[in-house]
Chains A and B, each alone.
Chain A
């Protein structure tokens, strides 16, 4: 069964450094998402992406964040200058048909900012 994959599973970085979190969505899906989950808290929407552009973003997704689909398979989330409060689990998701339809989540990347 196809699944969303994410790398790395755990990323440790120093405050102020740039990080890139990588995702490979399910191959025939067209809609892509990033979420984050601070330990013990709810899942928070960051951004949705369709047709090579951002469809929707939350207030969390400020100028320090960017997303890219550099080729036909990868979907990346970049944080330009990490802060301590960026420490969280970051989930990528994809959907074949867009908003309102089932999203398939990856296993997540745990980001630790020290």
Chain B
């Protein structure tokens, strides 16, 4: 069945440190993976995506790594800031069916 999940439910980091949020998925049929950030009381916000034929993609302060061998996705945030505090979801997108499956979420706390 479809399943996208997370290794750690909460992560606490010091401001300025790097953060790594992990995600495991079980269905290899998707074409895209996306990381979303959700702040309290708001809808999910796109951070970065990666195609299944890539293993790394970098954005501004964020890097997504995809390991299809072990079905693992990670989000790295460099120089974490208090504004990064939120819940982060990985999501798997089935391009053929316009369907997005979200993982369980990891709450990131950034300590000043």
Contact = CB atoms under 8 A, between A and B. Distances in A.
A93 B34 CA distance: 15
B83 interface: no
Interface in B12-61: 31-32, 34, 36, 38, 41-46, 49
A100 B31 contact: yes
Interface string A32-49: 010100000111110010
Interface residues of B, number: 27
B98 A105 contact: no
A99 B46 contact: no
A102 B46 contact: yes
B43 A105 contact: yes
Given A100-B31, A100-B93, A48 B98 contact: yes
A10 to B, nearest CB: 11
A45 to B, nearest CB: 5
Nearest to B5: A42
A42 B89 contact: yes
Contacts of B46: 102-104
Interface stretch (A13-21, A50-58, A80-88): A50-58
A46 B104 CA distance: 16
Interface of A: 4, 31, 33, 35, 41-45, 48, 50, 55-56, 58, 91, 93, 98-100, 102-108
Given A45-B101, A106-B43, 17 more contacts: A4-B43, A43-B36, A43-B38, A43-B91, A43-B102, A45-B102, A50-B98, A56-B99, A93-B43, A99-B97, A99-B99, A100-B31, A100-B93, A102-B49, A105-B45, A107-B41, A108-B42
